[in-house]
């Protein structure tokens, strides 16, 4: 680096008489010294470069599942998909001002999946329904072996059977009452395993922990919940299938008057039916204060065009009234919910837990009208009797809600579906019928999913 003093001494000796050419030469010399190759760096070995097959172009496919771009060899891939659901929601009779009959964007969800080196997948999904942007899924799935994977991030908790099912594939437009008692989306780390020729699925993980039927982004207390699930498919053929499972969570939730960490429940139409005492009620606020447990047995079976889904949830939570230091009443409350749903494909397709693909997609010129499926459900949610009157008002809050639903689904093709549901709901308080009971609700949905 002795060149630097000589260069600047040359400039100083020439002073103000140096020519434009001289100034240009000095500039070029300085630029070469600054931007030129570093002899030390040049002596280092070049970093290894990934081998890329340049003899084959990337593949681009577009099908019912969306758009996928794959690198040569398939180690890297990018998939784009999404869904749009437009609802017509109508409460028959005198609809309350808080839940008027309306047309609504139920879901508007773009989805992006990225595969890295064939072993890692990044899943991102947002929902722009009703004009609000919400990040629903953001997690990484790493395949450790062919049968063992690890999920880390925010995603659906694998507890409720119907909640695991895509909303595009539900038998009826809205999920049943058991989903109101399980954790929905949360930030977690879950290990998943597939055994015995993919017939047994096992899940174990840790999550922040959320109240029944709610989503979480962050933790409201330092405790964490543990999660486990086993799902066995002893029979799995094209026309017959049986799956039985057992899932559960355990944790400790400690709420505050401002963040009670307790759920409230609504009817299928979205009308409020039950809530614990809050700051607007007379008396102390009810909050979570101890052990939380959920036990969720579940079943799905199909024979030809007939499918049946059954689910039961036993959810217990220790609660207290007032500040953590207050001497309010304390109790472990147990809420329960169950549902039985069934469907029949009238046009001959096999029932499926996933997406139903018509044998004859809509094409009137060929006399093809897609697939028609009828479905029904009976369900109930029951609040612990010990909730009243200390933790909830027995005059206005329901202790039991029962609903019956009838529906028809018209699958135009693998991507487009029309749904029509009628729901009758009866709710009862300890003091008599709930103010909303009976509720007659009609829901029509147009759906595009890809």
Q: Where are the domains of the chain?
A: 67-449
pLDDT of residue 26: 39
Instruction: Output the pLDDT for position 47.
Output: 52
Q: What is the chain's mean pLDDT, rounded?
A: 88
The pLDDT > 70 percentage for the chain reads: 85
Q: What is the pLDDT of residues 195-219, one digit of tens each?
A: 999 999 999 999 999 999 999 988 8
- The answer to whether the pTM exceeds 0.75 is yes
Instruction: Give the integer Cα–Cα distance in Å for 30 and 340.
Output: 81
Virtual CA dihedral for 395, 401, 402, 403, nearest 10 degrees? 110
- What size, in residues, is the chain? 450
Q: What is the pLDDT of residues 40-74, one digit of tens each?
A: 444 555 555 545 555 678 899 999 999 999 999 88
- Say what the pLDDT of residue 330 is: 79
Average the pLDDT over 373-401 and give the result: 96
CA distance 180 to 313: 9
Residue 308 and residue 340 in contact, taking contact as beta carbons nearer than 8 Å? yes
d(CA 381, CA 427): 10
Among 230-234, 320-324, 376-380, the minimum mean pLDDT is found in: 320-324
pLDDT at 428 over 60: yes
Q: Kindly report which listed range (247-251, 256-260, 315-319) carries the lowest average pLDDT score.
A: 256-260
Asked if pLDDT for residue 6 goes beyond 60, the answer is no
Q: Are 335 and 382 in contact (CB under 8 A)?
A: yes
Contact 103, 109 (CB under 8 A): no
Confidence of residue 280 (pLDDT cuts 50, 70, 90): confident
pLDDT of residue 255: 92
CATH number for the region 67-449 comes to 2.40.160.10
pLDDT of residue 284: 87
pLDDT at 3: 42
- Give the residues across from 432 on adjacent strands: 429
**pLDDT recorded at residue 327:** 47
What local confidence, expressed as pLDDT, does residue 214 receive?
Answer: 96
Q: What is the mean pLDDT of residues 359-387?
A: 97
Residue pLDDT, tens place only, 295-310: 999 999 999 999 999 9
- The HSE-up count of residue 132 (CA atoms within 13 Å, CB side) is 6
Contact 188, 157 (CB under 8 A): yes
pLDDT value for 283: 74
Residue located via tokens 């006399």: 367
């Amino acid at each position: 680096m002795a060149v630097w003093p000589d260069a600047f001494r040359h400039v100083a000796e020439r002073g103000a008489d140096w020519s434009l050419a001289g100034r240009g030469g000095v500039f070029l010399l300085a630029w070469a010294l600054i931007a030129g190759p570093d002899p030390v760096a040049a002596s280092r070995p070049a970093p290894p470069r990934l081998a890329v097959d340049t003899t084959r172009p990337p593949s681009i496919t577009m099908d019912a599942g969306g758009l996928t771009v794959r690198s040569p060899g398939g180690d890297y891939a990018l998939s784009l998909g999404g869904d749009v659901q437009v609802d017509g929601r109508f409460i028959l009779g005198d609809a309350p001002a808080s839940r008027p009959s309306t047309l609504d964007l139920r879901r508007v969800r773009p989805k992006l999946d990225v595969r890295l080196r064939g072993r890692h997948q990044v899943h991102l999904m947002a929902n722009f329904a009703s004009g609000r942007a919400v990040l629903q899924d953001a997690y990484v799935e790493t395949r450790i072996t062919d049968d063992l994977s690890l999920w880390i991030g925010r995603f659906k908790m694998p507890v409720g059977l119907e909640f695991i099912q895509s909303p595009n594939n539900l038998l009826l437009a809205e999920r049943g009452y058991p989903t109101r008692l399980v954790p929905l989306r949360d930030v977690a780390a879950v290990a998943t395993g597939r055994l015995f020729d993919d017939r047994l699925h096992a899940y174990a993980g840790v999550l922040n922990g959320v109240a029944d039927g709610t989503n979480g982004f962050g933790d409201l207390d330092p405790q964490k919940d543990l999660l486990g699930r086993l799902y066995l498919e002893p029979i799995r053929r094209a026309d017959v299938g049986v799956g039985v499972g057992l899932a559960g969570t355990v944790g400790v939730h400690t709420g505050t008057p401002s963040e009670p960490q307790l759920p409230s429940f609504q009817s299928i139409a979205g009308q409020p039916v039950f809530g614990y005492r809050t700051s607007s009620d007379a008396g102390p606020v009810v909050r979570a204060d101890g052990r939380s447990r959920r036990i969720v047995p579940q079943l799905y079976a199909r024979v030809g065009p007939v499918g049946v889904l059954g689910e039961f949830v036993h959810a217990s939570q220790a609660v207290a009234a007032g500040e953590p230091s207050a001497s309010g009443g304390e109790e472990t409350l147990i809420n329960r919910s169950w549902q039985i749903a069934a469907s029949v494909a009238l046009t001959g397709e096999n029932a499926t837990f996933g997406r139903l693909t018509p044998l004859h997609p809509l094409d009137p010129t060929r006399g093809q009208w897609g697939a028609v499926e009828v479905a029904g459900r009976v369900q109930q949610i029951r609040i612990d009797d010990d909730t009243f009157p200390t933790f909830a008002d027995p005059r206005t809050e329901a202790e039991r809600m029962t609903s019956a639903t009838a529906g028809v689904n018209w699958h135009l093709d693998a991507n487009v579906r029309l749904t029509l549901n009628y729901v009758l709901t009866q709710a009862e308080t300890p003091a008599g019928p709930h103010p909303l009971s009976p509720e007659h609700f009609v829901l029509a949905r147009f759906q595009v999913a890809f």
